Amino acid sequence: MSVFDPSLSNQDLRPTTPTQRTWTMYSYIALWFSMSMEITTYQLASSLIANGMD
pLDDT tens-digit readout, 4-52: 777 888 888 888 899 999 999 999 999 999 888 888 888 888 898 999 8
pLDDT at 10: 85
pLDDT at 1: 62
| Torsion angle defined by CA atoms of residues 10, 11, 15 and 16, in that order, rounded to the nearest 10 degrees | 180
The SS3 assignment for 46 reads: helix
Q: What is the spatial distance between Cα 32 and Cα 22, in angstroms, rounded to a whole number?
A: 17
Q: What is the spatial distance between Cα 36 and Cα 32, in angstroms, rounded to a whole number?
A: 6
pLDDT at 54: 65
pLDDT at 30: 94
